[in-house]
Amino acid sequence: MSNDTIGIGVIGYGYWGPNLVRNFATHPSVRLIGVSDLDSEKLATSKRLYPGVITTFCYDELLKNPAVDAVAIATPVHTHYELALSALKAGKHVLVEKPLAQNSDLARRLIDEAARRGLILSVDHTFVYTPAVRKIRELLLKKELGNVYYYDSTRASLGLFQSDVNVIWDLAVHDISIIHHILDEEPVAVSATGSCHVVGSPENMAHITLFFDSACVAHISVNWLSPIKVRQTFIGGSKKMIVYDDLEPTEKIKVYDKGITVDGRSDNAHQFRIGYRAGDMWAPHVSPKEALQVEVEHFIDCVRSGTRPISSGMSGLRVIEVLEAASRSIAEQGKPVLLKRQQYRSPQRATATV
């Protein structure tokens, strides 16, 4: 298959589906075969934009189509497992909207099914493909920040309340996938609090702390009920610190050559023995390339080469394990929940690079 065109079917043409379709449609090695959705109006729109493409109410039609090599699934969370499993069983590679599944058990079954059949399973953790996060990862790999002290992120807006997931499955999922991607250690425990201000709805506001074996700590604040949109992440290190603001049109990442200096001697216990460094700030140029385009190219490369995607099923599972632990902690008002480590490993394959 390596040099041939990849046939793609997209299941779900609601909020995110059109973005997937647009990016697959413009990929030079992809043939967009079909789109399925339950809404006839949405199908009509996709037909108008892509007249040569099959449109169907029945996703099974795409799974049975031999021209379809891979499917992208952009449907509500509670349908991910069933749709992805059917696709894998039909021998299709799968790219699923985040989160991978409703819980970690279902996620594991998908990973197993994909491994058994030698198919690519990828989760659409879009943020790990943004030029900004990739630049941050590069700076951290080069130890530009020294030791990483903390990751502290806020995602707030007057957001779309969802009925089948709460705010952490909707928004914190982004930060957890970023943390897994840029830090070289995994969290060992979680404390989280959350609250619900609309009777009968899931939590619309939450705060999560992730503990690591090292002194590093991560905090994530998410809120569907904020008067203004905030997408801001602070990353502190022993040498430098980053402010990453995803709403900035051009200077998304600012690297501050600032920090503290610790004076070893300390004669007087009540005297400050800590000094401050204030140096330059630097905003590296970040490519304006759309993250989803990077991601779609990477998925197609993985399908062709059989390598493991960055946002693999396993990485999707690790994110869900943190979300589940956070949910348990929220139910007990912040009581810490340990994360079982290394408890599950499917047969590995080499991970590709973007």
The amino acid occupying position 304 is R
Residue 103 in contact with residue 320, Cβ under 8 Å? yes
Nearer to a copy of itself, 222 or 319 (CB): 222
Nearest distance, CB of residue 161 and a copy of itself, angstroms: 4
Interface with a copy of itself (CB under 8 A), residue total 76
Nearer to a copy of itself, 5 or 201 (CB): 201
Residue 298 in contact with residue 351, Cβ under 8 Å? no
Select the span of 6-14, 110-118, 232-240, 316-324 touching a copy of itself (CB under 8 A). Answer: 232-240
Contact code string over 89-128 relative to a copy of itself, x by CB under 8 A:
----------------------------------------
Distance CA 161, CA 181 (A): 27
Select the span of 93-101, 122-130, 271-279, 315-323 touching a copy of itself (CB under 8 A). Answer: 271-279
Residue 97 in contact with residue 73, Cβ under 8 Å? yes
Window 176-195: residues binding a copy of itself (CB under 8 A): 189, 191-193, 195
One residue of 55, 209, 233, 311 binding a copy of itself per CB under 8 A: 209
Nearest distance, CB of residue 220 and a copy of itself, angstroms: 10
Select the span of 31-39, 62-70, 257-265, 345-353 touching a copy of itself (CB under 8 A). Answer: 257-265
Nearest distance, CB of residue 354 and a copy of itself, angstroms: 21
Window 306-345: residues binding a copy of itself (CB under 8 A): 329, 332-336
Residue 6 in contact with residue 29, Cβ under 8 Å? yes
Window 144-173: residues binding a copy of itself (CB under 8 A): 149-150, 152, 154, 156, 158, 160-164
Q: Give the residue from 101, 141, 137 showing the smallest Cα distance to 121.
A: 101
Nearer to a copy of itself, 116 or 273 (CB): 273
Residue/partner pairs of 99-103 with CB below 8 Å, 24 or more apart: 99/123, 99/165, 99/169, 99/173, 99/316, 99/319, 99/320, 99/323, 100/313, 100/316, 100/317, 100/319, 100/320, 101/77, 101/316, 101/320, 102/77, 102/78, 103/320, 103/324
- 269 near a copy of itself (CB under 8 A): yes
Burial label for 171, CB within 10 Å (0-12, 13-18, 19+), is: buried
Distance CA 122, CA 315 (A): 9
Name, in order, each residue with C-beta under 8 angstroms of 171's C-beta and a sequence gap of 6 or more.
Answer: 155, 159, 222, 224
One residue of 234, 290, 328, 344 binding a copy of itself per CB under 8 A: 234
Nearer to a copy of itself, 92 or 252 (CB): 252
Contact code string over 273-292 relative to a copy of itself, x by CB under 8 A:
xx-x-xxxxxxxx-------
Nearer to a copy of itself, 104 or 209 (CB): 209
Select the span of 96-104, 108-116, 118-126, 212-220 touching a copy of itself (CB under 8 A). Answer: 212-220
Nearest distance, CB of residue 226 and a copy of itself, angstroms: 6
Window 44-63: residues binding a copy of itself (CB under 8 A): 49, 51
- 348 near a copy of itself (CB under 8 A): no
Q: How far apart are the first and last CA of the chain?
A: 20
Residue 186 in contact with residue 218, Cβ under 8 Å? no
Window 60-89: residues binding a copy of itself (CB under 8 A): 76, 78
Nearer to a copy of itself, 34 or 313 (CB): 34
Q: Give the residue from 142, 216, 132, 215 showing the smallest Cα distance to 178.
A: 132
Residue 21 in contact with residue 43, Cβ under 8 Å? no
Nearest distance, CB of residue 207 and a copy of itself, angstroms: 5
Half-sphere exposure of 88 (CA within 13 A, CB side): 25
Distance CA 175, CA 191 (A): 15
